[in-house]
Amino acid sequence: MVDETGPSCASSVLTIDLGALKRNYRLISSHAGTSECAAVVKADGYGLGIGPMLNALRDAGCATFFVATLDEAIALRTLQQGPVIYYLNGLMPGEADICRTHSIRPTLNDPGQIERWAEYCATGREALPAAVHIDTGMSRLGLTPHETAALAAAPDQLQKFDFALLLSHLACGDTPDHPMNAQQRDSFAGAAEALPPTTRSLAASSGVFLGPAWHFDMVRAGVSLYGVSPQPGRPNPMEQVIHLQGKIVQTRDVDTPQTVGYGAAHRFEGPTKVATVAAGYADGYPRSLGDQGVAYIGNRAAPVIGRVSMDLITLDISSAPDAKPGEMVDLIGPHNDLDSVAESAGTIGYELLTRLGHRYRRCYIETNA
Query: How do beta strands 36-40 and 218-221 pair?
Result: parallel
Closest CA to 361 of 302, 276, 278, 249: 278
DSSP track, 179-200: HHHHHHHHHHHHHHHHSPP-EE
Closest CA to 333 of 8, 17, 6: 17
Query: How do beta strands 12-17 and 242-254 pair?
Result: antiparallel
DSSP 3-state assignment of 115?
helix
Annotation says 42 is catalytic: yes
DSSP track, 120-166: HHHHHT---EEEEEB-SS-SSSSB-HHHHHHHHH-GGGGGGSEEEEE
CA distances from 16 to 43, 208, 243, 351, 362 (A): 16, 24, 7, 17, 7
Annotation says 22 is catalytic: no
CA–CA separation, 277 and 304 (whole Å): 10
Please tell me which residue in 25, 87, 120, 262 is annotated as part of the active site.
Answer: 262
> What are the E-state strand segments in 209-299?
218-221, 242-254, 259-260, 266-267, 272-277, 294-297
Please tell me which residue in 42, 160, 247, 273 is annotated as part of the active site.
Answer: 42
What residues are labeled active site?
42, 262
